[in-house]
Amino acid sequence: MSAIAHLLSRLRADLDPAAIITDPALIAPHLEEWRGRGMGSTPFMLAPSTTAEVSRIMRLCSESGVPITPQGGNTGLVGGQIPQGEVLLSLRRMQAVRGIDITAAAITVDAGAILTNVHSAALAAGRRFPLSLASEGSATIGGLISTNAGGVHVLRFGMMRDLVLGIEAVLPDGSVLNGLRALRKDNTGYDLKQLFIGAEGSLGVVTAATLRLFPIPVGHAVAMAALETPEQALALLQRAGDETGALAAFEIMNRHGVELAAALPGVRTPFTAPWLALMEFESAHEAALLSDVEALLAGAIDSGVCGDATIAQSKQAAREFWSLRELMSAGHRAVRVPQVSHDTSTPVSAVPAFLRAADAAVERLAPGARTVAFGHAGDGNIHYTAMAPTADYPFPAEQISRAVHDIAASLGGSISAEHGIGVFRRGELARFKDPVALATMKAVKTALDPHGLMNPRVLFA
Ligand SMILES: Cc1cc2nc3c(=O)[nH]c(=O)nc-3n(C[C@H](O)[C@H](O)[C@H](O)COP(=O)(O)OP(=O)(O)OC[C@H]3O[C@@H](n4cnc5c(N)ncnc54)[C@H](O)[C@@H]3O)c2cc1C
C-alpha cells in the first residue's frame, strides 16, 4: 500500500467523513490559481471543522511523511495555496466567531472566517476590524495572517502583523500552540505568534486568531484628485495627513490603468489626468472632517499641488470612487496581451524615482510596452505591471521583473510588499534576501518542521 493510501485509510478511521473530500469535481476549484496561472494537483482534500481535527491530521501526515498545503480563500497572488501533489488542507469549515470582548477591544475567530464576515461580526458589536482589501469577500483570517496582508488602511492601522493579538496554531507534529490571548503587553520571551504571520503556511496551520478592534469612525469622507506627476501625489499625501490628521487611505492610479478599469461595465472616472489620487478620511467628528477636507483640497488646487479634486457627495459616489481603484487589476488583466506584475515597496519618498526608473527600464527592454501603476502610495507599495503592446510581442517578462526588482532594491525597497513570496517569487527572494536573514529563516523552518512537510514549495528556492 502506498504512503498516501495508507494515510487515507488512517484518516478515514480517525476523522468525521465530512472532513475527507475525494471527489475531483469538488476539489477542482481549490486547485485553480486565481489569475489562471495553471492548475495544481492533490491526492485528496481535507476540510476539518475543529482544531482537534487539524491536530489529528497533522500528526497522521507527519507519521506518514506526507506533505501538506494549507488553503484559506484561495485568493493568494503568489501561488502558495495551490498544492502540487501535497495533501490540500482547507480551512473552509472553520468559520466560527469564538468570542468578542468589547472592553479588551478584541475578537477571536476561527482561521477559516472570511474577512467580510469578521467585519460584520465586529460591526454588530459596535466595533470595527479595519483590514480592508479587494479580496475581502473570499480571503480568510488564516490566509491574511499567513501572508501578512496589507490592503488600503495600512497607513492608519498597519498590516495584519499589527492587528493580531494572539494566534492558535497546529505545529507539523500535531501539537497545538495556544496563544489566543488579547494582551497588549506580554514580554515573556520570543513573540511566537509573529513567526506564523507571513509564514505562508510553512511552519504550521493557523487555526484561530484574536484580532484588534477599533471604534467605528463617525466622520467619513472620500475624495479624488487629478495630478500631473507622482511628486504631486507625495505633496498631496503630506498635506492631507498634516492638515486633517484623519487620513486613512491614500491610493494612486496612473492614466493607462484608469482607462482600462473604466472600460469595465459600471466603472467611471471623474477625471482624465496622468495620475489620480484616491483619499479616504475618518474621524470621530463628521462636521469638522468635511470642512477640513474641503479646505485641504481648495488649498491644494490653489497652490498647484493638484489640478482638480472632488469629494464624494454620497455613499454611492464614494463606492464608485473605490470601485475604480479596486477594479484596477481586473481592468488590465482583461487585456489579452503578455504582462508581468509586481508588488514592490520603497520608502514613500522614493516612489517617484521608482516609477521613473521602472518606466525607463520597461521601455528599454520592451519598446512600446505600456505600464499600469497603482496602489498604496501612502505606504510606498506600488503594484506595477508592464504590458506587451500586442498579443504576439516577444515580451521579456523575466528580464523586466528582474529590472523592476533591482530598481526597488536599489532604492532601499522590497520585492514583495504585501503579497508574499509563495512559489512565484522564491527565486527572487534568494537573490535579494540578506544571506544571514535567509539562513535564519531556514533554521526556524528546520526547527519547527524538521521533515519539511509544511507547504514545502513556498519561500525557499
Ligand atoms: C482581487 C484581489 C485583491 C487583493 N488585494 C490585496 C491587497 O490589497 N493587499 C494584500 O495584502 N493582498 C491582496 N490580495 C492577496 C490576497 O487576498 C491575500 O494574500 C490574502 O491574504 C490571502 O487569503 P486567503 O484566505 O485567500 O489565503 P490563500 O490564498 O488560501 O493562502 C495564502 C497563503 O497562506 C497559506 N494559508 C492559508 N490559510 C492558512 C492557515 N490557516 N494556516 C497556515 N497557512 C495558511 C497558504 O498555504 C498560502 O501560502 C488580493 C487578492 C485578490 C484576488
Domain boundaries defined on the chain? 3-90, 97-215, 219-329, 339-390+403-419
Share of the chain above pLDDT 70, in %: 100
For ligand 1, pick from 34, 129, 147 the residue to mutate: most ligand atoms within 8 Å of CB: 147
267: cell is 466603472
> In the prediction, which pLDDT does 288 show?
87
What mean pLDDT do residues 306-326 have?
94
> In the prediction, which pLDDT does 37 show?
79
CATH architecture of 339-390+403-419: 2-Layer Sandwich (3.30)
Position 286 confidence tier, pLDDT thresholds 50, 70, 90: confident
Judge whether residue 434 has pLDDT over 80: yes
In the CATH hierarchy, which top-level class contains the domain 3-90? alpha beta
418 CA: nearest ligand 1 atom: 11
> In the prediction, which pLDDT does 38 show?
80
- Fold (topology level) of 97-215: 3.30.465
What mean pLDDT do residues 419-446 have?
96
What mean pLDDT do residues 350-369 have?
98
What mean pLDDT do residues 376-396 have?
96
CB of 51 within 6 A of ligand 1: the answer is no
Q: Nearest CA to 448 among 153, 150, 285, 205?
A: 205
At 77-130, the pLDDT tens digits run 999 999 999 999 999 999 999 999 999 999 999 999 999 999 999 999 999 999
Judge whether residue 430 has pLDDT over 80: yes
Judge whether residue 56 has pLDDT over 80: yes
What mean pLDDT do residues 346-352 have?
98
Q: Do domains 3-90 and 219-329 have the same CATH topology?
A: no
CB of 81 within 6 A of ligand 1: the answer is yes
CB of 33 within 6 A of ligand 1: the answer is no
For residues 170-201, one letter each, b for 16 or more C-beta atoms within 10 angstroms of the residue's C-beta and e for the rest, the string is bbbbbebbebbebeeeeeeeeeebebbbbbbb
Judge whether residue 221 has pLDDT over 90: yes
For ligand 1, pick from 30, 45, 71 the residue to mutate: most ligand atoms within 8 Å of CB: 71
Give the CB-side neighbour count of residue 360, counting CA atoms within 13 A.
Answer: 7
What mean pLDDT do residues 373-388 have?
96
199 CA: nearest ligand 1 atom: 44
Position 36 confidence tier, pLDDT thresholds 50, 70, 90: confident
CB of 341 within 6 A of ligand 1: the answer is no
In the CATH hierarchy, which top-level class contains the domain 219-329? alpha beta
Between the CA of 122 and the centroid of ligand 1 the distance, in Å, is: 21
Average model confidence (pLDDT) across the chain: 96
136 CA: nearest ligand 1 atom: 17
Measured CA angle at 148 (ends 143, 154), to 5 deg: 125
Judge whether residue 281 has pLDDT over 80: yes
Position 449 confidence tier, pLDDT thresholds 50, 70, 90: very high
> In the prediction, which pLDDT does 333 show?
86
CB of 151 within 6 A of ligand 1: the answer is yes
CB of 80 within 6 A of ligand 1: the answer is yes
Between the CA of 240 and the centroid of ligand 1 the distance, in Å, is: 30
CB 211 within 8 A of CB 141: yes
Judge whether residue 3 has pLDDT over 90: no
Q: Nearest CA to 445 among 432, 456, 431?
A: 456
417 CA: nearest ligand 1 atom: 11
CB of 74 within 6 A of ligand 1: the answer is yes
> In the prediction, which pLDDT does 287 show?
77
CB of 416 within 6 A of ligand 1: the answer is no
CB of 423 within 6 A of ligand 1: the answer is no
CB of 172 within 6 A of ligand 1: the answer is no
CB of 108 within 6 A of ligand 1: the answer is no
422 CA: nearest ligand 1 atom: 49
Which amino acid residue places its CA nearest to atom 37 of ligand 1? 143
Residue ranges with strand state E in 117-267: 127-128, 164-170, 176-179, 205-212, 214-215, 219-227, 247-254
